[in-house]
Amino acid sequence: MKLYNELAEWWPWMSPHTEYEEEASLYLEIIRRYHPNVKTAVEFGAGGGSNAYYLKRHFDMVLSDLSKEMLQVSRQLNPDCEHIQGDMRSIQAGSTFDLVFIHDAITYFTDTEDLLAVMKNAKKHLKENGILFIMTDQFQETFRPGTSHGGIDKDGRGFRYLEWTDDSDPNDFVTETEYLYIMKNEKGEIFRESDSSHSGLFPMDTWEKLLASAGFRATFERIHYTAEPGIYYGIVAEQIPAG
Ligand X SMILES: C[S@@+](CC[C@H](N)C(=O)[O-])C[C@H]1O[C@@H](n2cnc3c(N)ncnc32)[C@H](O)[C@@H]1O
Q: Is the separation of the CB atoms in 81 and 56 below 8 Å?
A: yes
Applying the rule CB under 6 A, the residues between 31 and 50 that interact with ligand X are 44-50
Q: Is 99 in the site for ligand X (CB under 6 A)?
A: no
Smaller CB separation from ligand X, 28 or 66: 66
Binding of ligand X at residue 70 (CB under 6 A)? yes
Q: Taking CA 236 as the corner, what is the angle to CA 69 and CA 20, rounded to the nearest 5 degrees? A: 45
| CA distances from residue 79 to 53, 61, 66, 158, 218 in whole angstroms, order as listed | 10, 11, 18, 24, 33
d(C-alpha 3, C-alpha 15), whole Å: 11
Bridge-based pairing of strands 232-239 and 126-134 is: antiparallel
Given a contact cutoff of 8 angstroms between Cβ atoms, the answer to whether 138 and 166 are in contact is no
* 195 forms part of the interface with ligand X (CB under 6 A): no
Kindly state the smallest distance separating residue 46's Cβ from ligand X, in Å: 6
Query: Closest CB to ligand X among 77 and 183?
Result: 77
Q: Choose which of 9, 22, 104, 195 interacts with ligand X (CB under 6 A).
A: 104
Give the residue, chosen from 41, 65, 115, 133, that forms a contact with ligand X under the rule CB under 6 A.
Answer: 65
Nearer to ligand X, 37 or 150 (CB): 150
Which C-beta is closer to ligand X: that of 49 or that of 234? 49
Classify residue 209 by burial, with Cβ atoms within 10 Å: 0-12, 13-18, 19+: middle
88 near ligand X (CB under 6 A) = yes
Q: Rule CB under 6 A: choose which of 10, 108, 161, 216 binds ligand X.
A: 108
* Closer residue to ligand X (CB): 190 or 202: 202
> Are the CB atoms for 218 and 237 separated by under 8 Å?
yes
**Shortest distance, CB of residue 44 to ligand X, whole angstroms?**
6
At position 56, the amino acid (one-letter code) is K
Compute, in degrees rounded to 10, the torsion defined by CA atoms 43, 49, 50, 54. Answer: 60
The amino acid occupying position 196 is S
From residue 3 to residue 22, what is the string marking binding to ligand X with x (rule CB under 6 A)?
-x---------------x--
Q: Which is nearer to ligand X, 65 or 167 (CB)?
A: 65
Q: Are the beta carbons of 73 and 48 closer than 8 angstroms?
A: yes
* Binder among 105, 119, 126, 201 for ligand X (CB under 6 A): 105
By CB under 6 A, tell whether 87 contacts ligand X: yes
Q: How far apart are CA 72 and CA 95, in angstroms?
A: 22
Q: What does the alpha-carbon distance between residue 163 and residue 143 come to, in Å, rounded to a whole number?
A: 15
Which residues contribute to the site for ligand X (CB under 6 A)? 4, 20, 44-51, 65-67, 70, 87-88, 103-105, 108
